[in-house]
Structure 1
């Protein structure tokens, strides 16, 4: 299906358009509760989530869920998938209590429906761990990511790429805890698996280099961070089309290191490359675009060019206020930054 191809390429608007055309055709011949329609709603929901259109994503995932709840038993694994997708949208919105509610519903279904070493259970535990990580509850995040790793270790062969995801998730929590040596150990385990099992230009390899780069950045080892970010970027250039959102993330990562080094002109160069992609690839209220405005504004702030910094920071704040509750850390941090900037003007 062409919609899936466009989705994989990061062309989310085109994917949604194609999915909706297909949906229109299917709805002419199928009843409203047909499983095929549920799958179409699910695909549209996933694309909207990737676009940052969270309210629309919820709308379509909830349609999927309603059809599945009528058609399937309450312990059907396919229902768990639907709950996980809804939880994922709430996580993207920063509504972590709702995200946990749906991921835990998914886990309950999966635990009742599947054998204890089924890989889908690992995914469920991993989703819950990811939400706890975002909430800053690192002990619970580790608990669930370790549960996921144990299940994945039994469900998958030792060098399966999905096992690398488990190691990366654990590494990410340790990095957030400031336990950098432990984080590096898990990132390296993940990287070894990826290098053995995937092609040299696979996007997962770029992600792995990016994780290691982030670790070194958090350790203030900027030369090593740049080295790994640039390795990630070289792969990303081969793996993705030039306007793929992941290319922008790569530019942002490199720009972030230059900013940390105090080289604001170089940081701006990379932030602006990222921004051009986000403007083309994302809808106007996507969180990535807000982050991009924030990055550019912060770089101008570092250059003491406050008049240029202010409009970028205000654009970022405006988008974040539409996406997240007013108590979200992004909003509080950015509002403080703007107030600080205004005192300097």
Structure 2
């Protein structure tokens, strides 16, 4: 209806194009989302000055689509365009700047540039600490992101510190069975697991599982991941029968919820194989290793 009565580059079309693009993005229709965001950009370029803050929003939106399709270098270039405009047009502690720094950090991390990612996450955090209440959930999100990076860099004590700051905020503002709490418990568990503190890791994975069992469908893939993680910790502790039991629960969910050649299935088969090997059941181990290989040969580039 709008296109019938308005010129193709009429500014009033921007909001609708944005809404259509956002909906397609949420549905995973990334090429279509990109097409509509580019229509928005085309209109803005015809009607607005090049340093208008609206451009930054569009550049961020286009960057996020490229991030979603794993085109990280293009995503970074659009995020940088957004940042350049915001640095000229916004106060230095404006929340929109924090969003762009966050987006740049995510793209840096996806590219494997953890040092640059950490720098930009910290810039986002500094702005959020000045512009948001001290117990705002977005602060918790940023603490978690920084914690994950420190874990990837092997700096486990700093990783734990940031995850625990996130947990403190979430316990203050979220209901006890909120999925975000499960994510934070999982991150803390994974860090302790990396440190070799398997008993503490197990406790936090069990808290993760308890929340997920209350908040997620019984066949949700995240439940399978947690069962698999608990199985891995039990294997590290020498509790091989428990390890097998948890990995089998993971496998049952994955066989219902995932395609037959999904990499997560290969990971679970591998974990079951490794546990059987540790128990000395080599024929069972071999069978599961072969299933792992079969999936990897189909799913790896």
Shift of 1:103: 3.3
Answer 1 or 2: higher relative contact order, Cα 8 Å, separation at least 6: 1
CA distance in 1, matches of 2:43, 2:257: 36
Structure 2 residue aligned with 1:210: 186
Shift of 1:267: 3.7
Q: CA RMSD in A?
A: 2.8
Q: CA contact under 8 A between 1:294 and 1:313: conserved in structure 2?
A: no
User: How do 1:318-329 and structure 2 match up within 5 A?
Assistant: 318-321=298-301
Structure 2 residue aligned with 1:69, among 41, 54, 71?
A: 41
Q: CA contact under 8 A between 1:38 and 1:63: conserved in structure 2?
A: no
Q: Call closer, same or farther: CA 1:102–1:78 in 2, change over 3 Å.
A: closer
CA distance in 2, matches of 1:262, 1:109: 56
CA distance in 2, matches of 1:151, 1:319: 41
Structure 2 residue aligned with 1:80, among 47, 59, 74?
A: 59
CA distance in 1, matches of 2:297, 2:241: 23
> How many aligned positions are there?
279
Q: CA contact under 8 A between 2:79 and 2:100: conserved in structure 1?
A: yes
Matched, 1:89 2:89: no
Matched, 1:296 2:269: yes
Q: CA contact under 8 A between 2:247 and 2:271: conserved in structure 1?
A: no
User: How do 1:1-345 and structure 2 match up within 5 A?
Assistant: 29-31=1-3, 34=13, 35-48=15-28, 57-72=29-44, 73=48, 75-76=53-54, 77-90=56-69, 93=70, 95-261=71-237, 263=239, 265-282=241-258, 289-303=262-276, 304=282, 305-321=285-301
CA distance in 2, matches of 1:317, 1:229: 31
Shift of 1:231: 0.3
Q: Call closer, same or farther: CA 1:265–1:130 in 2, change over 3 Å.
A: farther
Gaps of 5+ in 2: 277-281
Q: Call closer, same or farther: CA 1:98–1:253 in 2, change over 3 Å.
A: farther
Q: Call closer, same or farther: CA 1:256–1:193 in 2, change over 3 Å.
A: same
Q: CA contact under 8 A between 2:21 and 2:37: conserved in structure 1?
A: no
Q: CA contact under 8 A between 1:64 and 1:82: conserved in structure 2?
A: no
Shift of 1:142: 1.6
Q: CA contact under 8 A between 1:271 and 1:292: conserved in structure 2?
A: no
CA distance in 2, matches of 1:100, 1:260: 39
Q: Call closer, same or farther: CA 1:251–1:115 in 2, change over 3 Å.
A: farther
Structure 2 residue aligned with 1:333: none
Q: 3-state DSSP class of the match of 2:91? A: coil
User: For residues 275-329 of structure 1, what are the alpha-carbon distances to aligned partners after superposition, in whole Å with 9 as ceiling and x for unaligned?
Assistant: 44445445667xxx313322313431442422332233331342232xxxxxxxx
Q: Call closer, same or farther: CA 1:97–1:183 in 2, change over 3 Å.
A: same
CA distance in 2, matches of 1:97, 1:280: 36
User: For residues 235-271 of structure 1, what are the alpha-carbon distances to aligned partners after superposition, in whole Å with 9 as ceiling and x for unaligned?
Assistant: 1122222233333332233233234445555444334
Q: 3-state DSSP class of the match of 1:157? A: coil
Q: CA contact under 8 A between 1:39 and 1:64: conserved in structure 2?
A: no
Q: CA contact under 8 A between 2:272 and 2:288: conserved in structure 1?
A: no
CA distance in 1, matches of 2:183, 2:136: 16
